Structure 1
Amino acid sequence: MHNTQRIGIIDIGSNSIRLVVYGRSENGAFQVIDESKYTARLSELVDSDHRIDILQLQPMVDKLNHFKRICDIHYVDTIRIAATAAIRNASNRDEIISYLNSMTGLQIDVLSGEQEAYYGFIGMANSLNVTDGFLIDIGGGSSEISLFRHRKIVKSISFPFGCVNTSKTYGQSDPLSDSDMRRIQDMVRQAMLEEPWLAEAPGLPMIGLGGAVRTIAKIEQLRTKYPLNRIHHYQMEDESVSQMLQKLRALPLSKRKNVPGLSKDRADIICPGIVILQTLFQHCGCSHYIMSASGIRDGLFYEMIQPDAPLVPDVLEYSLHNLIALHLSSLPQEHTRQVDRLGGLLFAGLREYKGLPEEDARYLHIASLLYRIGTNIDYYGYNQHTFYMIMHARLYGITHRELVLSAIIASYTTKSRARQMAVEYKEILDEHDYSRIYKLGSLLQLAIALDKSETQSIEEIDVQVKKNSLRIQALQHRGITFEEMEVQGAAKEFHKAWDLTPVLTS
């Protein structure tokens, strides 16, 4: 048995059906504990009368019952099932839902286009620190696009075309011909002309959801040998997407299936999907692409656990709190909070002297709260475990560069080791980041030294830069003998980065 709440989310899309199982602890912390996918291609089953023959749904019934068994294995308490465009637009929708219910016992909700856009937005907005933009979700049978401002949807529309049904109607040439590509572009443009607001907010980023968008990111990352295996928050320019489309269009399906990053079950529909995406992007006058790995299933989950306020107020802080609750709840959190507080005071004292940028305080804040997360694996060598866990955690609200910076700072031991770690990510970091890592990493070590006893004995400090030293005066404390020795131990690495020797006095 288990002592956590288990929630299953099943998304019946037009191309694929996906299950995600979440575990939620008593302290509110949650994580994905299982997932499964089935390529259903429901949009291909729609006939000329917009019907889906019930007799063709047996494979889907088998898979839904399989998903039910997975949920049973995990002792899932609640299952939420949502169907999107293929079933929503079917003329015999009620018959399909009744049949699936009778064969599986599952209660299926059919989402409207507006609801589909909303849940996709919640999933994205709770995982990306983007306040304004266009959100596009290209599915198998529909494409939802929303304009959002200040993290609120202003307008949204669901277009009845996606990767699968567009490929079925216009993408039968192999490779995709110029004439078929123009037909797809004309279809999309004609639909967009009915929604003039789409062209009234140029210069915003386009946030992409769905399998087509994730595939584009995978292909590009493998092509460029991108050092980070992370699609969420990956950014691309329009030129790169255009070049990818031309290269994929030049390949017949048999060769397209061998493109690294492109799964064989998506190779036949990827080109129409990119044409839809690029046509929407250019019509809206967007600045660049940002890829989101969080979408409708995440949005459904957030609504289930916090129905009154599914949109979190601060993406980064919410994500940090969840990680801490998941992995650090067994450790005294008073210590990491003290390190975070003292680190902030040290940073404030040094900022005026060194002219430090404001965003550096955020990296130090993240690293201070998470620097011990690696002890979950083992205390010995926990610094390297900390780096690994931060790099692979669902830490949201920061860019790839900020993630790398935070992970190296949190796991900092020496300047030379930090440089070795940073070199691997030189394509992501800029030339000033090396110095930033040394400074903030050694600053974190100094903050740790100020509470090495883990008793929070120092209540207040005054920080002054005098000649070649950093004078730290403990204004209120319950004894600092232990911390004085630890500060001496951290002084060497701190001096390498700052050309200052820290001294703790009372």
Structure 2
Amino acid sequence: MQKQFYAIIDIGSNTMRLVIYLQEKAGRLREVENVKAVARLRNHLRDDGTLSKQGIDILIETLQGFKEVVDTYDITHLKCVATATIRQASNQEEMKTTIKEQTGFDMRVLSEHEEAFYGYLAVVNSTSLTEGITVDIGGGSTEVTYFKDRKLVHSHSFPFGALTLKNFFQNDSAQDKEINELRSFLRSQFDTLPWIKNKHIPLVGIGGSARNLVQIDQNKKKYPLAGLHQYKMQLSDIIQVSNYLTTLPFDQLQKVEGLSKDRADIIVPAIEVFHCLYQTMQADSFILSRKGLRDGVFYEQLSEDLGSFLFPNVLEDSIQELINDFDLDPKQILHVQFLTRKMFQCLREQGLGNLTTNDWTILKRASYVFNLGNYIDSESSAQHTFYLLANRTIDGLLHMERLKLAIVASFKNKTVFKQFLAPYKSWFLKEEQKKLRFLGALLKFAYCLDATRRQVVQDIDYKVKKDAIYVTLYCNKDWMPEAYQSEKQKKHLEKAIRKNIELEFVDIKQKP
């Protein structure tokens, strides 16, 4: 099948960006090119409301550079959208004509509502959040939305952004008095929206300033997992980053790990927006969405066939991508899942291991991607499985959920489990560690029951006596390989439940 490439040009007030996506087999878009230019068009918006000739020249020159990149791909669809500065410029029609003549691009100027809507759409189609408030700080405007049950309820565009808020500071090093004045202004602005107050739900940050905040926090904490999308912070984390940055002279600020040099002069006012909005809504957390306006534009296009802007299940789509990317066998996945469920029910009914509905959720997710690393190397499959799942962005999973998935889906034995868990040991209580090891051992055992991928074990019965669990496995083919592998593996499960497991493989014709 011919590769389908999609391109979007985002003309923002601070930066301009070209992103090119490749459509995957599962239908989702994967980013293959990302070109950024710091144009700062906001600084070229004159008092009479027009974008200056210098600003227009920067705009055209940047777009011509983007066109050279675009022309190296066979693009299926290209969209060129502009936000606050172009929206506010009284000579935007003149710019549209010039851009069309010199680059061939049709520039679409987004309304305030459209800009907010696309940010919201990106969040609900790339996370598992059902309720939240999104905030996207641009150079010249700040978009805020409230969604509930994944549906957009309210949206608002404030006429200030990181570049305009920078005017609260006399120079590049903010003073305490100036920060307090900025906070007072922001709180008065947020107080005008009753629907954001006292919500106790996640605040979802979109855009470059939010990404930089997260990158700085991760670097300060020496955060061991890769990826920014769906990273979670608390108010205390935001305050610590803000306090750290405001103590630095500007030359040192420019060298902070995780902070783009071109954002050094606007990062403090941007973080104060997050800080004050978090307090106004009394959020329960701050979560970064790596997906934003650009993604939202294409999510709208991709969802046309669905009859709805919302993808039905974000996490299922992400797992399907993993299944496709690593050539996992759907038939084997479903069978291992069936066997896992049988064993899980057996143990839960007997009160072994304190198993909960949430444990089954983790186990079910892990059953889709167990032994995924075998695609790379069978000998070190567990290591590859853990690394890939722990460090790959999985839409619909927060970082902690992704880590639990990686730990369970990569289970090999107690030693390897401890090795994988070591950098994250402080993240879990001892009981949580034991539970994850138990779930991993259970899944590995079920996987051994289908060692040859022939779906030999068709059903499971069990009897529990004081000393042991007696498991009868009904088979429709020769079961010798499955018997060998499961006998070898069952010790890890026995240690977890503190009972012996006695296995009996019989012909399915003997089933009562």
Q: Who is 1:302 aligned against? A: 299
1:464 shift after superposition: 4.3
Gap change, CA 1:64 and 1:504, over 3 Å in 2:
farther
Distance 2:91 2:177 in 1: 33
The answer for unaligned runs of 5 or more in structure 1 is none
Distance 1:232 1:341 in 2: 32
Distance 2:70 2:504 in 1: 56
Among 208, 219, 230, the alignment partner of 1:211 is 208
Identity of matched residues, %: 33
1:61 shift after superposition: 2.5
Q: Who is 2:192 aligned against? A: 194
SS at match of 1:136: strand
SS at match of 1:398: coil
Q: Who is 1:42 aligned against? A: 41
2:443 pairs with 1:448 = no
Distance 1:226 1:8 in 2: 32
Q: Are 1:44 and 1:165, in contact at CA under 8 Å, matched by a contact in 2?
A: no
Q: Are 2:407 and 2:436, in contact at CA under 8 Å, matched by a contact in 1?
A: yes
2:333 pairs with 1:339 = no
1:422 shift after superposition: 0.2
Deviates more, 1:69-78 or 1:296-305: 69-78
Q: Who is 1:374 aligned against? A: 373
SS at match of 1:418: helix
- Which residues of 2 match residues 49-60 of structure 1 at below 5 A? 49-60=48-59
1:142 shift after superposition: 0.9
Q: Who is 1:281 aligned against? A: 278
Q: Who is 1:261 aligned against? A: 258
Distance 2:270 2:88 in 1: 19
Q: Are 1:173 and 1:180, in contact at CA under 8 Å, matched by a contact in 2?
A: no
Distance 2:28 2:417 in 1: 31
Q: Who is 1:125 aligned against? A: 124
Q: Who is 1:92 aligned against? A: 91
SS at match of 1:279: helix
Gap change, CA 1:395 and 1:270, over 3 Å in 2:
same
1:237 shift after superposition: 1.9
Q: Are 1:184 and 1:276, in contact at CA under 8 Å, matched by a contact in 2?
A: no
AA aligned to 2:148 is R
SS at match of 1:265: helix
1:184 shift after superposition: 2.5
Q: Are 2:25 and 2:324, in contact at CA under 8 Å, matched by a contact in 1?
A: no
Q: Who is 1:405 aligned against? A: 404
Q: Are 1:232 and 1:292, in contact at CA under 8 Å, matched by a contact in 2?
A: yes
The answer for unaligned runs of 5 or more in structure 2 is 507-512
- Which residues of 2 match residues 2-21 of structure 1 at below 5 A? 3-21=2-20
1:463 shift after superposition: 4.2
Gap change, CA 1:447 and 1:238, over 3 Å in 2:
same
Deviates more, 1:3-12 or 1:150-159: 3-12
Q: Are 1:29 and 1:323, in contact at CA under 8 Å, matched by a contact in 2?
A: no
AA aligned to 2:207 is G
1:475 shift after superposition: 4.7
Q: Who is 2:432 aligned against? A: 433
1:476 shift after superposition: 6.5
AA aligned to 2:404 is L
Q: Are 1:208 and 1:291, in contact at CA under 8 Å, matched by a contact in 2?
A: yes
Distance 2:137 2:220 in 1: 23
Q: Who is 2:169 aligned against? A: 171
Task: State the TM-score, normalized to the length of structure 2.
Answer: 0.92
Distance 2:113 2:32 in 1: 29
Distance 1:150 1:29 in 2: 22
Distance 1:286 1:243 in 2: 17
1:120 shift after superposition: 0.9
Distance 2:5 2:466 in 1: 58
Distance 1:463 1:154 in 2: 51
AA aligned to 1:505 is F
AA aligned to 1:428 is W
Distance 1:346 1:69 in 2: 58
Q: Are 1:7 and 1:78, in contact at CA under 8 Å, matched by a contact in 2?
A: yes
Distance 1:88 1:67 in 2: 21
1:287 shift after superposition: 2.6
Distance 1:198 1:111 in 2: 24
Gap change, CA 1:460 and 1:20, over 3 Å in 2:
farther
Q: CA RMSD in A?
A: 2.1
Distance 2:293 2:169 in 1: 27
Q: Who is 2:151 aligned against? A: 152
Distance 1:318 1:461 in 2: 31
Deviates more, 1:455-464 or 1:37-46: 455-464
1:504 shift after superposition: 4.0
SS at match of 2:261: coil
Gap change, CA 1:363 and 1:50, over 3 Å in 2:
same
1:415 shift after superposition: 0.6
SS at match of 1:420: helix
Q: Who is 1:61 aligned against? A: 60
Q: Who is 1:505 aligned against? A: 505
AA aligned to 1:332 is D
Q: Are 1:215 and 1:261, in contact at CA under 8 Å, matched by a contact in 2?
A: yes
Distance 1:293 1:227 in 2: 18
Q: Are 1:138 and 1:277, in contact at CA under 8 Å, matched by a contact in 2?
A: no
CA offsets per residue over residues 300-353 of structure 1, 9 Å max, x none? 22222222323122222121112212332xx43211221122212221221232
Distance 2:371 2:180 in 1: 55
Distance 1:310 1:25 in 2: 19
Q: Are 1:449 and 1:487, in contact at CA under 8 Å, matched by a contact in 2?
A: yes
Q: Who is 2:222 aligned against? A: 225
Distance 2:445 2:413 in 1: 12
AA aligned to 2:88 is N
Distance 1:81 1:462 in 2: 61
AA aligned to 1:273 is A
Gap change, CA 1:398 and 1:464, over 3 Å in 2:
farther
Q: Are 1:462 and 1:473, in contact at CA under 8 Å, matched by a contact in 2?
A: yes
AA aligned to 1:340 is Q
1:197 shift after superposition: 2.3
AA aligned to 1:444 is L
Q: Are 1:214 and 1:293, in contact at CA under 8 Å, matched by a contact in 2?
A: yes
Q: Are 1:460 and 1:477, in contact at CA under 8 Å, matched by a contact in 2?
A: no
Q: Who is 2:142 aligned against? A: 143
CA offsets per residue over residues 224-266 of structure 1, 9 Å max, x none? 2222232222222222222322332222211211222212111
Q: Who is 2:509 aligned against? A: none
Question: Matched residue pairs, number?
Answer: 501
Gap change, CA 1:121 and 1:485, over 3 Å in 2:
same
Deviates more, 1:154-163 or 1:294-303: 294-303
Deviates more, 1:269-278 or 1:473-482: 473-482
